């Protein structure tokens, strides 16, 4: 695999979102608050629909769905991801599938531009609980491997020293996944696409599909990253550093 992908826009954030029911202590806005540690909860095991209406002026396409780990859509639950142009005729974006524990990802070849999107949940074993529901269009950055990259975990410990020089260590949390890519682009269009991501994601978490094909919830190490270096005509280089956002 010689490319990475980034999913940084969630159409739920710019849509009117409705759910079949809602536990008011775990409201539906938690589906799109970019906090994977907080849950939306329904109030019944009856069939449940989460619908997003982008309005008459469609803002964003979609080809990728992500539900982070922490949900309870397993134990027989069935999931269907659908779209519609008129809120009456619905079509499968992904063929209905059985839920399973852990992260749920659906990547479709060919983005759809539709006003209405929904997730239909049936055969639920418990009242639905979902930390986030992402629907959006992934940005693929190709040919990253030849230029080098860093991957692995990074410690989450604060080290400081007393006046005597004795070190002290404060563990702030678990180790986090870290990725750094030497991005080299050869067209202004590619640079503009990456700039849209950078401008949108300063201070906002997003999803990264790394070289191993794993989707990770990340943020920019330096939210003020930029500008691009210009080693030549139609050459746009930048070091893209990202670190995992924990629940």
- Compute the average pLDDT of residues 61-88: 97
CB contact burial 1-15 (16+ within 10 A = b; e otherwise) = eeebbbbbbbbbbeb
Residue at 180 is within a domain: yes
Task: Report the half-sphere exposure of 18 (CA within 13 A, side-chain side).
Answer: 7
- Compute the average pLDDT of residues 13-35: 98
Same-domain pairing of 74 and 57: yes
- Compute the average pLDDT of residues 199-212: 95
Residue at 13 is within a domain: yes
Helices (H), the chain: 188-200
Domain count, the chain: 2
| Domain end residue (candidates: 91, 108, 137) | 137
Measured distance CA(247)–CA(237) in Å, rounded: 32
83: domain CATH number?
A: 2.60.120.260
Q: Give the confidence band of 1 by pLDDT, cuts at 50, 70, 90.
A: low
| Domain range for 204 | 143-244
What are the Cα distances from residue 198, in Å, to 130, 160, 193? 27, 32, 9
Same-domain pairing of 176 and 76: no
| Domain end residue (candidates: 108, 137, 166) | 137
The pTM score is 0.92
């Amino acid at each position: 695999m010689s490319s990475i992908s980034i999913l940084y826009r969630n159409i739920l954030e710019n849509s009117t979102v409705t759910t079949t029911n809602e536990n008011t202590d775990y409201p539906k806005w938690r589906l799109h608050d970019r906090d994977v540690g907080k849950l939306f909860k329904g109030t019944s095991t009856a069939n449940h629909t989460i619908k997003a209406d982008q309005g008459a002026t469609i803002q964003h396409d979609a080809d990728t769905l992500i539900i982070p780990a922490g949900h309870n859509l397993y134990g027989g639950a069935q999931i269907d991801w659908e779209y519609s142009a008129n809120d009456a005729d619905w079509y499968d974006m992904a063929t209905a599938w059985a839920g399973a524990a852990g992260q749920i990802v659906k990547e479709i070849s060919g983005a759809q531009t539709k006003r209405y999107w929904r997730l239909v949940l049936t055969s639920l074993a418990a009242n639905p609980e979902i930390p986030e529901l992402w629907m959006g269009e992934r940005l693929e950055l190709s040919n990253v491997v030849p230029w080098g990259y860093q991957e692995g975990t990074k410690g989450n410990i604060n080290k400081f020293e007393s006046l005597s020089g004795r070190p002290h260590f404060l563990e702030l949390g678990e180790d986090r996944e870290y990725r750094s890519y030497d991005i080299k682009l050869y067209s202004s269009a590619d640079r503009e696409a990456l700039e849209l991501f950078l401008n949108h994601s300063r201070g906002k978490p997003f999803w990264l599909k790394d070289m191993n094909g794993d989707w990770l919830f990340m943020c920019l190490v330096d939210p003020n990253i930029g500008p691009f270096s210009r080693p030549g005509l139609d050459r746009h280089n930048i070091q893209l550093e990202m670190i995992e956002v924990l629940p």
